[in-house]
Amino acid sequence: MAKRTHTNKTTVKEKDFKLPISQLGRMFDMGFDIGGGVGRAGRPNKPYSQVEWVWICVNFIINVSKSIQLVLSNANEEIVENGDAYDLLFNNPNTPISKFLSETIGYYTLFREVYWIFTDKNLLSPKNIIVAGPDQCKPVIDNGVVTGYKLQAANGQQVPLFIEDVWQITNFNPDRSYRGSGPLEAGSLAISSSHQATQYNEATLANGAKLGTMLVAPAGVKFDDAERRALIAQFESVHKGARNAGKTFLATGGLDVKTMGQTMAELQMIDLRKYDAGTICALFGVPPELVSLNSEAQYAHGPATQRFLMYTISPLLSDIAENISSGILQTFRFKTYTGVAQAASKSYAGSRLPIKSKASFKAAKIKAIQSAQKLFAWFDVESHPAVQEMERDKAEKVMKYTTYGVPLNDIIEAYDLPFTQNPWGNEFFISPALMPARWIMDAGPEGLAAPSLPEGGDEPEPPEKSLSSVPSVNSVANEKDNNAQKLRIWNNWKNSWAGIEREYQEALRKFFLRQQRELLDKLSDATKAEPNEVIARVVFDLQKENGKIRAINQTFFDKASELGIRQIASEIGMAADARNLFVETAKRNAIIRRALAVQAKKITGINTTTQRMVANQLKAGLDKGEGLNGLTNRIREVLGSNRQRALSIARTQTAGAIGSGRHVGMKDAGIELKIWLTSGDKDVRETHRDAGKRYAKGIPLDEPFVVGGDFLMHPADAGGSPANVINCRCVELAGKANGKELTLTHYANLKFVNYEEVKNGQTN
């Protein structure tokens, strides 16, 4: 065994060797030069053009692999972007990361064998890496055991290396466990057989692509060798070659001419170059569409690219990443590295999907934990555009199941989609306003776009008792007093607009009864037609119906918003003679107009929902063969229970209108702070109960209340989500006006301006 010293080791530099350009030719051992020339026997031979496809495939794999980011992470799901290990890979001027990956992937793709040679070591931690192939670095075998390595320098010198100075990557080889076995051996056979077949084709073409001919002598006639050679020579001199193919032949002396029989397959000219190129692509796992062997461009830019990434690139990079973790990063195991969160990373350029959700990261993390590695490498394959396109296509195909009652989070989990699960993803949403189905089941279509929750009923219950411990009897008494004051304030305010709510409800009841009557009239006429025409005839004129319901809403919106403005003017002590001018000015505020526009847009969804419900019931009845009576009962069942539906809509729209009026009144009056007040009973939404606690001392008027993820300027804000708006009966109170705080006692002793007073002109 060769003697190795540290002196020999330090002579190993990157400049000592170069990548061999004729290495592939020597591996084939066919006696040809990559660029053409003279073979072993001194005969000129043509270049093996199929070798070009080997380089096409290898470089294609390298280029795609380099487009995928290499990332260093720790078990805390953080990204590491500093330290010695990071500098060795990403800040190494001698072996930049691009060169390191190109040579590693290139050698491993060709030979399934590559060597990382560590140089300039500082104790266990290297400062540089040299990548070598099997023709440059060879294991030293002693009794079947690898005891070291030899590196061949550019000058032919054999440099001995210690085992700990080299990390070898190989695949399985049962004949030589210390060496790899790449696709080139099979590739060389494919290229050789293709070349021989090509020569056969060329010989056939040289003879004009005609069948062979035989000269047959009569029985009993024999020719000696000289006569036979002379006869053949004479025949070839006249008929051999493509230019003489098919030339008439006159046989004399009793000779007969016979044509040799060949099959059509033997006569067929095969495109051997393309056939052999496809074989080489298959050896390297490159779909032929990607290198223009096939003309299916659409397939090449879609499924073929995705298949290439998933079945060739991803396993290859996973193997290399594991070797980087075990062979390179493990040498820095005695050092501590701190990572940063994905959002704070300056070097990570992948998709914003959490890395913990990516399969490549999870696989690398599991391997690192099993190997007790603090630092590990992985390639972000999921961020490649082709993979993201594949995930989007998959999502598009399976998202239709949400319309069949499958919540989004269940689909994400079942199909492993690259999306973050959200709380609302547990709901099953239906159109027209993408509302959770359970809200409709709870409240029917009157939910408008959200559930009909009974927050603050007509008969409010006493506030809940606090379960928290209290320090003294006085504090308990104070809390009871505060709760009693809040309940009194809320109850007075709720009663102040109960009259307009009842009028709005009654107007909607009449609207729904008219719709029911008109639909039943249409049904009576439609049943005389064919069954498949019934549904088409029993429909609303949605444009007309939407116009009517918008007109109803605007009438009561104007009344309710004016009531809210007048209440604020009274609450801050504005003089009676100034209130009318204040109200008229505030009513023209743009905020009021925007709130009305949003309400009008949402309320038209009621008619669409009604039409869909009627159509579904009619279809179900017609499928069962029901007549006029059965179909009439179905429509009455759908539209008959209108009282609760009308109440829910009236309550929601009125609360939003009066809330917008109070808010604009506060803004025009210069109110400084605002307060969120609930009814305090058991039916209050948890998010609204929390808002009542957090905003009890008030916030600036122009700042929004943050409630359940919504930014609301006031309770029942028309711009809020359905979950925060429907049936909300909370109230916005002024907390500070003209530098003076408005306490609960102020409001408890205050009589809110009532709708009946405004209606009867008793506003002063």
In a domain, 578, yes or no: yes
In a domain, 393, yes or no: no
Q: What is the DSSP letter of 471?
A: S
Select the more confidently predicted residue: 107 or 433: 107
Instruction: Select from 153, 182, 211 the last residue of a domain.
Output: 182
Q: Assess whether pLDDT exceeds 60 at residue 265.
A: no
Token output for 8: 């020999």
Q: Assess whether pLDDT exceeds 80 at residue 526.
A: no
pLDDT band at 17 (very low <50, low <70, confident <90, very high): very low
Give the tens place of pLDDT for each residue, 714-760: 999 988 888 888 888 899 999 888 878 888 888 888 888 888 888 88
Give the tens place of pLDDT for each residue, 319-350: 999 999 999 998 887 777 889 999 899 999 98
Please name which of 568, 492, 599, 586 lies closest in space to residue 737, comparing C-alpha atoms.
568
pLDDT band at 688 (very low <50, low <70, confident <90, very high): very high
Q: Assess whether pLDDT exceeds 90 at residue 508.
A: no
- Domain span at residue 653 reads 474-759
Give the tens place of pLDDT for each residue, 625-643: 887 788 888 887 777 656 7
pLDDT number for residue 398: 80
Give the tens place of pLDDT for each residue, 655-684: 999 999 999 999 998 899 999 999 888 888
CA 160/CA 158 separation, integer angstroms: 6
pLDDT band at 464 (very low <50, low <70, confident <90, very high): very low
Q: What is the mean pLDDT of residues 437-457?
A: 44
Sorted by sequence, the CB contacts under 8 Å of residue 434 that are 6+ apart come out as none
pLDDT number for residue 528: 64
173 phi and psi, to 5 degrees?
Answer: -145, 105
pLDDT band at 195 (very low <50, low <70, confident <90, very high): low
Q: For residue 602, give the amino acid letter.
A: K
In a domain, 366, yes or no: no
In a domain, 442, yes or no: no
pLDDT number for residue 544: 87
Sorted by sequence, the CB contacts under 8 Å of residue 718 that are 6+ apart come out as 595, 598, 599, 602, 656, 660, 725
CA 457/CA 465 separation, integer angstroms: 19
Select the more confidently predicted residue: 527 or 223: 223
Q: How many domains does the chain have?
A: 2
Q: What is the 3-state secondary structure (H, E, C) of 620-678?
A: HHHHCCCCHHHHHHHHHHHHCCCHHHHHHHHHHHHHHHHHHHHHHHHHHHCEEEEEEEC
CA 515/CA 536 separation, integer angstroms: 16
pLDDT band at 403 (very low <50, low <70, confident <90, very high): low
Average the pLDDT over each of 89-98, 114-123, 265-274, 681-690 and give the range with the smallest value: 265-274
Instruction: Select from 126, 152, 182 the last residue of a domain.
Output: 182
How much of the chain is helix, strand and coil, in % rounded to 5? 55, 10, 35
pLDDT number for residue 296: 58
In a domain, 503, yes or no: yes
Q: For residue 614, give the amino acid letter.
A: V
pLDDT band at 474 (very low <50, low <70, confident <90, very high): low
In a domain, 411, yes or no: no
- Out of 230-234, 647-651, 739-743, give the one with best mean pLDDT: 647-651
Average the pLDDT over each of 166-180, 331-345, 416-430 and give the range with the smallest value: 416-430
**Average pLDDT score over the chain:** 78
- b vs e for 292-325, b when ≥16 Cβ sit within 10 Å of the residue's Cβ? ebeeeeeebebbbbbbbbeebbbebbbebbbbbb
Token output for 244: 């003489």
Select the more confidently predicted residue: 675 or 267: 675
Token output for 266: 């033997």
Question: Are 379 and 388 within 8 A, CB to CB?
Answer: no
Select the more confidently predicted residue: 41 or 643: 643
- Out of 50-59, 205-214, 641-650, give the one with best mean pLDDT: 50-59
Q: Assess whether pLDDT exceeds 60 at residue 30.
A: no
CA 683/CA 623 separation, integer angstroms: 42
In a domain, 103, yes or no: yes
Four-residue CA torsion sign, 266, 267, 272, 275: negative
End-to-end CA, the chain? 113
Please name which of 72, 61, 64, 66 lies closest in space to residue 97, comparing C-alpha atoms.
66
pLDDT number for residue 741: 85
Q: Assess whether pLDDT exceeds 50 at residue 34.
A: no
Sorted by sequence, the CB contacts under 8 Å of residue 47 that are 6+ apart come out as 32, 33, 34, 35, 36
Q: For residue 286, give the amino acid letter.
A: V
In a domain, 734, yes or no: yes
Token output for 184: 């080139």
Question: Are 522 and 538 within 8 A, CB to CB?
Answer: yes
Q: What is the mean pLDDT of residues 126-148?
A: 90
pLDDT number for residue 3: 36
* Residue keyed to tokens 């918008």: 550
The secondary structure of 587-615 as a DSSP string is: HT-HHHHHHHHHHHHHHTHHHHHHHHHHH
Give the tens place of pLDDT for each residue, 289-320: 888 776 655 555 678 888 899 999 999 999 99
- b vs e for 502-529, b when ≥16 Cβ sit within 10 Å of the residue's Cβ? ebbbebbbebbeebbeebbebbeebbee
Give the number of other Cβ atoms within 10 Å of residue 740's Cβ.
11
Instruction: Select from 182, 207, 239 the last residue of a domain.
Output: 182
Q: Assess whether pLDDT exceeds 60 at residue 44.
A: no
CA 353/CA 358 separation, integer angstroms: 8
pLDDT number for residue 764: 60
